[in-house]
A and B are shown apart, each in its own frame.
Chain A
Amino acid sequence: MELAYPVGLVVVAASIIIGFTALVREKDDLHRILLTDLAEVLALVLIALVATDLAEALILPGLVVGISELMAVSEVYIAKEGLRAPEGPAFRIEVMDSAPGILALILVAYGIVLSGFTGGAIAAVGAVFYFMCRGHTEQFELIETVSGYAWAFWIGAFFIFMFLPAYWFFAVMIAGGAILLKVMAKMSLVGTMRRGGPDV
């Protein structure tokens, strides 16, 4: 730590100088957005260099703020340039007809075995892929409802941790299952965005 931190700081400082120089020289707006995103990663690196539990906990909010700023600036860019979603037939290849069923099944099953946040993300990748390839006719109110209940269960599990610590295993099981459902339900909606259905 004693040696690694100053060395890391020097590396980050050099990277910041390189990144900002590139930004000054770059004239294309789209490329400048990408470069600012790279520069924001350096802020996270600065936090990560501290290398304590607290620093680890600070990275997530830092990342979220960075992404939301990136989205805001991208929206401004889209409005500024008057860009629209491309018209024409959707992208189709053969594997998108044959693979979704089996791949989604494997990913969702493996996600359920993992459970928790990671499991939710993996199961969601399966669901995203399925919705992207096969389209969707489902009612999203149902998914939203399941997601909402899962969130309530997750919070309830935390109340068990706080007030009935003796039942921690029960609470872990509830929280793990609920966050799996929650993350999966939320992320699977991403897969439906490409089709632009009436509910999205």
Chain B
Amino acid sequence: MFNLPTTNIGGPEVFVLEFGDIVAYFSPYTAALFVFALIFTALVIVSRPERQVDIAFGGDAYYTKEVDPNLLRFQRFMAIACGLATLGAVMTGDVFNFTLFASMVGITNIGIVAAYRNRHVLNAAFQYGIVAMLATVPLFGGAAIVLAGTGTLSMWELFGGAMAVPLIAKAFLVLGVMGEGMAPFYIAKAEITRAQGAPFILMVHVSSLLLFLRVTEIVISM
């Protein structure tokens, strides 16, 4: 067994999975987040996308827009991948793995948002992509400063309170996650919450919410 300095990590641990010194775990808090993400991933897998309905002004007529099945399939795949990355981010016990999962969420969010052939939406997706790419600088930088300051990346050692994690590293981590999880704001800008494929867009909100909750836990516990 790997010798863990902390036996009590963010509440009593429910489940522990060891890969060498990378120890994935569930505390009641992260288990709740995990179940939440799992439910939404399952919803994405089984859901049938809705069609956008346009109502003709001045009459009773309405029509549904055609949805390109290829784009829809791509979007569903990206939404499922986003769900899996979120699952990894909430259960990992390693700071660098968390940053990797966070940037994976960023990449898949770009994919979800970009699966429209609408110029405004693509513009918003592009701006978000730039932000997500820039966010990897503070994200990885934060993890690197944690490693340089304490000599370890394992949350089990960092959460004990014995290690003094530099404040700038915590700030960088929060800043990075803010950049990666910023997709919902760009979606609001592009007004695609009401557009085609609505259930998949939900995944963007869920993943960014869960990322924020998880990074809050990490930063407070360190």
Contact = CB atoms under 8 A, between A and B. Distances in A.
Contact of A69 (B133, B143, B144, B145): B133
B137 interface: yes
A69 B122 contact: no
Contacts of A106: none
A76 B100 contact: no
B133 A76 contact: no
Interface residues of B, number: 31
Contact of B144 (A23, A32, A46, A80): A46
Among the interface residues B106, B107, B110, B134, which one has the most CB atoms of the partner chain A within 10 A? B134
Among the interface residues B100, B114, B129, which one has the most CB atoms of the partner chain A within 10 A? B129
Contacts of B126: 29, 73, 76-77, 80
B39 interface: no
B96 A58 contact: yes
A73 B129 contact: yes
A73 B132 CA distance: 10
Interface string A63-81: 0011011101101110110
Contact of B122 (A39, A44, A50, A80): A80
A40 B100 CA distance: 14
Contact of B132 (A52, A62, A69): A69
Contact of B107 (A52, A54, A72): A72
A45 to B, nearest CB: 9
A23 B145 CA distance: 24
B137 A68 contact: no
A46 B166 CA distance: 15
A74 to B, nearest CB: 9
Interface of A: 5, 16, 20, 23, 29, 32-33, 36-37, 39-40, 42-44, 46-47, 49-50, 52, 54-55, 58, 61-62, 65-66, 68-70, 72-73, 75-77, 79-80
20 contacts: A23-B130, A39-B133, A40-B133, A44-B140, A46-B137, A46-B140, A47-B144, A47-B147, A50-B144, A50-B148, A52-B147, A54-B147, A58-B96, A58-B144, A69-B129, A72-B111, A72-B129, A73-B110, A77-B126, A79-B114
- Top 6 A-B pairs, shortest CB-CB distance: A73-B129, A43-B140, A80-B122, A46-B141, A47-B144, A36-B133
